Amino acid sequence: MNVKLAETAGFCFGVKRAVDTVYKQIAENPDTPIYTYGPIIHNDEVIKDMKKKGIHVIRSDEELMTLEKGIVIVRSHGVPKSVCRRLEAAGMTCVDATCPFVKKIHKIVERESEAGKHIVIIGNESHPEVEGIMGWANGPVSVIQTVEDAYHFQIPEEKSICIVSQTTFNYNKFKELVEIISETRYDITVLNTICSATKERQTEAKSIAEEVDAMIVIGDKMSSNSQKLFEICNTACKATYFIQTLDDLDTNQLRSVDTVGITAGASTPNNIIEEVQKNVRIIF
Catalytic residue ranges: 129
Whole-number Å distance between alpha carbons of 185 and 154: 10
Amino acid at 236: A
Nearest to 105 by CA among 151, 42, 169, 158: 169
Q: Are 203 and 236 in contact (CB under 8 A)?
A: no
The count of other CB atoms within 10 Å of the CB of residue 242 is 19
Which ranges constitute the DSSP H helices of 29-154?
Answer: 44-52, 61-64, 81-89, 100-114, 128-134, 147-152
Q: Are 211 and 199 in contact (CB under 8 A)?
A: no
Whole-number Å distance between alpha carbons of 221 and 242: 8
Q: Are 163 and 120 in contact (CB under 8 A)?
A: yes
Containing H/E element for 231?
helix 224-236
What residues pair up with 93 in beta bridges, in sequence order? 71
Q: Are 73 and 97 in contact (CB under 8 A)?
A: yes
User: 143 vs 119, 168, 245, 248, 277, CA distance in Å?
Assistant: 8, 15, 32, 33, 38
